[in-house]
Structures are given as structure tokens and as C-alpha cells.
Structure 1
Amino acid sequence: MSQQGGGPTRQDDDWWGQLYDETAEDTGPAPGPDSLDDRYASAKRTTVAGDRGGPQGGSPPLPTRRTDGPAPEERPPFPAQRGAEAPAPGSGAQPGAAPPPPVPHEPAVPPVPDASAERPPAPPATRTGQPPAVPPMPGWPAPVAEEPGAPRGPVMTGVAHFTPAAPPAPDYVGSRPPTYAPEPTALPVADPEELGELVSDTVLEGARYGACTLRAVSLRGDSARYRGEARRDALLVARFGAGEQALVLVAMATGARAAPGAHRAAAEACRWIGQAVGRSHERLVEDLRADRRGDLKSGLNRLTDRTLGKLRAASGEPTASLRCLLLPADPDCRTRVFFGAGEGGLFRLRDGEWRSVEPAAPPAPGEEPPDGDRLTMDLGIPVPPSPYEPAEPPQTPFRFRAAIARPGDVLMMCSSGLADPLNGEASLRAFLGRRWSRAAAPGLAGFLADVQTRVKGYADDRTAAAVWEA
């Protein structure tokens, strides 16, 4: 070693390099015990030798555990304090005598307690041989007591009991289920060159303007779903204008059953009437606010005849029925106008009761009114058509109705696919009356589920638009 303040000598540098040089050989294991077991064995031999007052010797073997269950008085109790041991039976030592002092500078190792020492008494078994039930957690319901003699299942304590959910409501009303399945089965045949003419199975729409909430849906009937036919009903919901000057049009059309391309005719009828109303929506809003029903009837009759006239000119016969509803967005205007031609229904739900408000069709040209006077005698002789006058296709009578809505009313316009079961099945009227008599209108999914509630014997397409008045 160098003196204080001096640098390391050359001998110190050699010793330092030999000790930490990576190329130096290993010196082997340490001469003394370095593991935890070696240290524990050394301390144990030292303690035993100190207790005997002689040199270190072999440690006595530990007492083996008795399997025959000795009596409680033969088992040594646990020491009350650290380092204190209970006197052995028959040794003559006093219970309160202090143990021999340990060897200086060596820690005293506490004796290892016997595994067969006294344990706390086990709880008594029940009469059925099962362990006692654990008390439930605070705030949880108590377990239900079992009746004697009942089959015993798995014991579950502290588990909350929930009431099972009610079974889902049936998707039909009436005494018997419908013939067809409730979900779509086959898709319509598609033309790769006319994919834009494909008709989806279901169309759903909704809106809220002014004091009314609108829900509209058009879905394929069970028969068309089963046969893979396209939906013949078409639905159009459009808003023209903005703010309080806006006008909402709901148009639905149904193609003739036997006509080829019936779904295309229905879609064209909705598109053409939508274009005509959109061009004249400003004058229509003014007439609605002023309640000029005569002007509305004549103007809408002209628009309807033009639309259906285009379809008759293309096919030579009526190929679709058309029904429309006009809803002003002005909250102060509660006039609701229905117009159209063809089959379908118009209903009003008030105070939980359905009432048909379908306007009566006017008499056709040349037809005598029911209560009119007959000026000529009908002999019942058929008159052959004149070869010089072409036969005109039958005209579909125009229907018009304007009504003032009251808060709480529900006005529904629908195609014949829903109008026929409503008129023929009282259970369907009662079901929809309960569902729609609430203060708020249902959501889109709920409205769809209500409209597609089926009745045996009615499998046509269904299209409906309902308005809830606030």
C-alpha cells in the first residue's frame, strides 16, 4: 500500500489486474458456507451445542408426526412468547421458569411447532351432513329455504336471483299462424343489365315537422318473399322547401298484380307525382294555410290524372293505384290533405278506437247516383259497342279529403295489403290500437315490428304511413 495521498504502487496494480482480469483462471468455490441451508445448519449446531454445555455435535432427530392421534394433554402447547418453550412432561421444571440463556453473539432459533398441535374446533355438522351455509353478503337476497325431501341441487349462497325474461310476443294475431314464414326466403331474379331496378325487401322512413311525427314503411308480403317476387308497393317520402314554408309529401303506389313490371309502374307513379308536387309546393302551402279546399281538390285532381294518364298511355290500362298525403311543416297549420286513386285505406285512431275516414268515391261518368231519379226504363238489353268509337279504359275515381288534426290523433294511410286485414280482423285493430295510443310515437324499429304483425289469409305487400299529432 502507498502512503496517504500517494498513487497506487506497481505491486498494487498487478494485484488489481490479477483479481479482475477476464483471462484469469477461476479460484474455485469459496472455502466457507455461503448458501442459506449451510448457514441455517451452522446456527442450529451452535445452538444445540450451547444448550448441552459441550462441544458441537450432531443434532437430535426431529420428532416424527404421530398418525394415531395422541391425546390433547400429550401435545405441547404453543409457546406464549418468542424464545419460551413449554416444559416437557415429567421433567420437573416449573412452568414459569426461564429457558437457558443462548450462546453469546448467536441468535436463538425458535423451536419448530408440531403440525399435530391443537387446532380450533371445527364447526358442528348439520343434520344432513352438509357444512353450514355461509351467511349472505349485505344487501343480497337470502337464499330460498328448501323443502324437506326435495331433490338437492348444487348449493349456491350469496347469489342474486333474477326473474327470467318474458317470452317474446308472437309475430301474428288471430287463432292460427299464417301459412308462410315470417322472414324472407327467396330473392327476386336479377338482370345483370338492369341492376338499378332492383327493389329492396323493406323501406323505412321517419321525420318530425311542426306538431306531427311521421313514420312510414313499405315491406314485401309473405307470399312474395316465399316465391321470390319483387315488392309491388313503392314508397316515396320527400320534403320540398325549408323552414315553415316546407311541405312533406308521402306517396305510395301499388302495381297491378297481373301486369308485367308492376314494381316499375309503382315506382314511376311515385316519382311523377313527386315531381309535380315539388314544382307546385309553394302554391300548395299557401292553399293549405288559407284552407282553400276547393282549389286544393281541383289542383291535386289534375296532378293525379296526369300521373296515372302516363301509366295508362304506356300500357293501355290502369297499372297502379296511387295514394298521397300532404303535411305542412308550419306548426300553426294543422290541415292534413289526403288524395289519390285506387285501392287502399285511410284510418284515424282517436281515444283508442279506429275509424275508417276513407272518402267515398264519386260516381263515374255516365253512372247514376244511388238516390237519383231514373228517367228512362232499363229493359236489360245489352247494347253492343260501336265499331266507330274506341272503348275507353276504365277511369279510377279520384279521392280527396282535408281534415283538421287534433292533439292525440293518429292518422294512417296504407295500401290494401294492410287495409284489408285491418277491416277484416278485429284482433289486429285492437293490437295496433293499444300500441299506438301512447303519447309518443314509436321508433322506426318498433313501427316496423307493429306493421309486420301478420294475420292468416293476408300475405300481400304492406305499405303504411302514420302521423302522430302532438
Structure 2
Amino acid sequence: MNGPSSEWEAYGVQADPRSVGEPVDGDRLYEHLAGLPDGILVNDTREPGTAVPAQPATPPLTPAVAVPEHPVPSQSPAEPEDAFLRGAPAHVGQRPPSYPSHPLQCPTVRSEDYFAAFTPAVLLDGARVGQLTVRAASLRGDSHNWEGTCRQDSMVVTRVGPPEAEFLLLAVADGVGSAKYSHVGSYRFTRQAALEVDGETERIHAALTARDEAELRAIANKAIAHAVSRLGADQDHATTLHVLLVPTDPRIRERVVFSVGDGGLFVLREGRWERGDPIHDGTLLDTRTEALPHAYSTVKVHLLPTAPGDVLLLGTDGITNPLTQQDPAFARHLADAWSGPEVPSLSDFLWQAQTRAKSYDDDRTVICVWEGTE
């Protein structure tokens, strides 16, 4: 960078007047110093009583190189003041739901239900495994926010199995509202199911590559039965459960779904939602009366073939109901949000997952998997 070699040259002085060497013309020096901007302090080296010659008014000198004392961050003049605020979640329909869009009361430890008191209103997670990208959110529903009760949904995003038989395991559970400790049940069953499946991954991998649904069904029933037995849960802990297993080996295109109760799996293809876990007669799966622990022997198992570019959605009924129950605006809104060329960031996904619709005020848990393209 070309510029003054000293602080004195910046003000038009060729050398430091205090240096030893060639004499400095004092009158000329003071002509320069007298024209300095106000606020700059200079030591006067003239003999006491020496008059300073009057100088004509001159404009302040401009340094050869102007550097601000504190650099100012660059900012686009067109950027609005609220560029960092998304505001309330979007809603479908002419009017937003009657409930406020933000949490109100929360549970208290005085209820002695410490699990409820320490359960956060929102969980947010994500991962990137090979060509698979995951976004996951579990949200307390509007009605629970209003009442000050805890989120009864739960979710898990993890990996299970050895490298040669590894799966991305995604699980969601919706505690049954009438069960006293359903929030505890949903939390424990999602985690215990993951542990039980981890011990069966080699068998699952072999059955998957052989496309043996009967063997997969036997493995799933055994794993869930063991989870029920180990937890010793009763009907006060009743919950639904859905587990999606995605092989991390990109050569395997089938995915495995274990399901008990309502909620389930959808696939977003070419901008449209398709049910990912239909029963064999082609009708929609309806297991709303089923829940763990008593339904451990009726686990539904489904093999789902996928293609690069698909988006899989695993969710509780807080999101699957508006996708299926005559709400095309809601389905279209999320299809537009999640079928673009870019996977949303965690914060964008959370905001999109909070899209509201009248009459749908339950907890909402949604996990999406973007199947990468080659």
C-alpha cells in the first residue's frame, strides 16, 4: 500500500521535527501545525515568549491515507431493518387459528411431574449422513401452549448398527392424551426402540436385501415386545410409535417402516405428497385405536422403495392429519417449502414446520429426509 512513511508525512511534513539531522524551518512547521483540525494536541517547542506569526485561514489538511478509528461493517442500504425477523409462523386459510402462535404458560415443578416441568416446548435436530440430509422438529401444540401442559410428542435421530449394516434411525412418538404419563412413555419408547433395533441390525439388513417382509415383521415385533418388557410400562404411559430405518449404503434403495398407532410416513415426489405406508388393499393405514404398550404384537411393517430426489416425511398426527384430512392448502404449502433445490437450514425448517391451520392444535413432530441426487 502506498502512503506516508510516517505520521508526520501524513500531514505534509517531510520528517519528524524531533529527529536529529537537517534543521527544520520552524515557521513553516507551525504553518502546517496551525492548520491541523481541532482536537489534535501538539507539543509547542518554541522558546517561552516567542510569538507565533498570524496565519491566514486555511482549510484543514487531509491525511494522505484516511483510516477510520473503528471499521464500520458493510451493510446493504436496501436491507430492511427487520431482515432478521421472520415474525409469526405462516398459516393457511383466510384467518389464523384462535390460539396465539407462541408458548404461554409452562408446567410447574410444584406439580411433582418433574419430567413434564423439564420438557422443552421445542426440539430441533438435524444430520448429514452420506447423501442423506435430515431435519427434525418436535413442537408443543397450540392447545398445550394455551393450557400450560407439556409436549407429549418425542423424537429420535441417530445411527444404529455396525458399518457394514448401518442404518439411520428416525423415530417419532405421540403420547396418548388421556394417559397420565404419556409424555414419559413417548420419550422412553423412542429411545428403547432404538436400542432394541440396534441389536437386530444385521438381521434387518439381511432381510431387507432379501426383501423378506415376513422376517422384518418378526424382527420388529420382537424388538418392540422387548422394549415394552424392559420398560415395564403400563397404560398410563400409552403412546404411538413410528420408526423409519434408512440404510446408509446408497446402493440400497428400500427403507423400512415400523408403525404402531396413528401418524406415519409420507413421500414428497414431484411436488406432491404420497402416503408412504399404505396397507395392502390400497386404503390408508388407520390404526388410531392402537398404542403401546398393549399393541406390541401388532406392529405394522412396510418396505418403501425410494429414488434420488425424494423427500421422506415421518410424523405424528399433528402433521399427518392436516396432510390427509381434506386440507390441500396445508399440503401444498409444505410441498412448496420442501421440494426446492436446497435443503432448508435448521431455523428455516423449524419455522416452516410451525405452519398453522385451524382445528389442528395438537403437538407436532416431523422428521424429513432429503434423498440426495447423484
**CA displacement at 1:447 relative to structure 2:** 1.3
* Number of residue pairs matched by the alignment: 291
Residues 310/457 of structure 1: CA separation in 2 closer, same or farther (3 Å cut) = farther
- For 1:138, the equivalent position in structure 2 comes to none
RMSD: 3.3
Answering whether residue 100 of structure 2 is matched by residue 181 of structure 1, we say yes
- For 1:340, the equivalent position in structure 2 comes to 259
CA contact (8 A) 1:249 1:326 kept: yes
- For 1:399, the equivalent position in structure 2 comes to 300
SS in structure 2 at match of 1:180: coil
CA distance in 1 between partners of 2:306 and 2:104 (Å): 41
Post-superposition Cα deviations, 1:159-199, rounded to whole Å, max 9, x if no partner, equal: x9737588957521211111111111111122597646621
Q: Which has the larger radius of gyration?
A: 1
TM norm structure 1: 0.55
- For 2:338, the equivalent position in structure 1 comes to 436
Match of 2:78 among 145, 159, 162: 162
SS in structure 2 at match of 1:340: strand
Post-superposition Cα deviations, 1:395-448, rounded to whole Å, max 9, x if no partner, equal: 885322112210111111110111112223211111111111123321211111
Match of 1:459 among 348, 361, 368: 361
Answering whether residue 226 of structure 2 is matched by residue 212 of structure 1, we say no
Identity %: 34
CA distance in 1 between partners of 2:297 and 2:197 (Å): 20
4+ residue segments displaced more than 4 Å: 163-170, 191-197, 308-311, 393-397
Q: How does 1:45-444 map to 2 (within 5 A)?
A: 162=78, 164=80, 171-190=90-109, 195=114, 198-307=118-227, 314-315=233-234, 319-360=238-279, 397-424=298-325, 425-444=327-346
Q: How does 1:26-41 map to 2 (within 5 A)?
A: 35-37=49-51
**CA displacement at 1:357 relative to structure 2:** 2.7
Instruction: Give the residue type in structure 1 aligned to 2:264.
Output: G
CA distance in 2 between partners of 1:450 and 1:238 (Å): 23
CA distance in 2 between partners of 1:408 and 1:440 (Å): 11
CA distance in 2 between partners of 1:228 and 1:396 (Å): 35
CA contact (8 A) 1:209 1:331 kept: no
CA distance in 2 between partners of 1:319 and 1:419 (Å): 19
Instruction: Give the residue type in structure 2 aligned to 1:423.
Output: T
CA distance in 2 between partners of 1:394 and 1:354 (Å): 28
CA contact (8 A) 1:219 1:461 kept: yes
CA distance in 1 between partners of 2:351 and 2:236 (Å): 35
Post-superposition Cα deviations, 1:68-103, rounded to whole Å, max 9, x if no partner, equal: xxxxxxxxxxxxxxxxxxxxxxxxxxxxxxxxxxxx
Answering whether residue 370 of structure 2 is matched by residue 468 of structure 1, we say yes
Instruction: Give the residue type in structure 2 aligned to 1:452.
Output: Q
SS in structure 2 at match of 1:320: coil
Gaps of 5+ in 1: 1-33, 41-109, 116-159, 363-392
**CA displacement at 1:298 relative to structure 2:** 2.1
Residues 163/315 of structure 1: CA separation in 2 closer, same or farther (3 Å cut) = closer
The one of the two structures with greater contact order (alpha-carbon pairs below 8 A, sep at least 6) is 2
CA distance in 2 between partners of 1:351 and 1:199 (Å): 37
Post-superposition Cα deviations, 1:286-313, rounded to whole Å, max 9, x if no partner, equal: 32233333211221133234545778x7
CA contact (8 A) 2:308 2:371 kept: yes
